[in-house]
């Protein structure tokens, strides 16, 4: 015999939604920070040009700079998206539960 599933709106369902939002925001934030770090390293770091010609080295430096710029932009956008999803979902999933001592409002 299987146990009955919790009704919608019960604490078990709210906990699942809260965990999903926190996991989604955490993953986007960590990914955004990673992209931001890689992008900054690509923009301001110097690639290894040992054994390459002058034009080849210049091409690699230019490519690193442009790819780093895109990575920095995307990393910052992911961090902003994670923060906005967390802030928008906070009133719904992180609100304190209504106390059972209060009767529901009458229409």
Helix boundaries (H) for the chain: 11-44, 54-93
Over residues 17-37, mean pLDDT:
89
| Percent of the chain topping pLDDT 70 | 71
pLDDT in tens, 73-102: 999 999 999 999 888 887 666 666 666 666
Distances in whole angstroms, Cα of residue 21 to Cα of each of 40, 44, 99 = 28, 34, 24
pLDDT top residue among 24 and 101: 24
Distances in whole angstroms, Cα of residue 59 to Cα of each of 6, 56, 76 = 60, 5, 26
pLDDT top residue among 20 and 94: 20
Distances in whole angstroms, Cα of residue 81 to Cα of each of 17, 19, 30, 66 = 18, 17, 12, 23
């Amino acid at each position: 015999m299987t146990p009955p599933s919790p009704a919608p709106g019960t604490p078990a369902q709210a906990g699942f939604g809260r965990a999903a939002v926190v996991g989604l925001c955490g993953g986007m934030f960590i990914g955004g920070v990673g992209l931001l770090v890689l992008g900054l390293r690509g923009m301001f770091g110097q690639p290894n040009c040992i054994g390459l010609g002058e034009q080849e080295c210049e091409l690699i430096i230019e490519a690193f700079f442009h790819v780093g710029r895109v990575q920095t932009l995307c990393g910052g956008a992911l961090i902003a998206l994670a923060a906005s999803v967390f802030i928008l979902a906070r009133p719904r999933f992180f609100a304190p539960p209504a106390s059972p001592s209060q009767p529901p409002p009458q229409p």
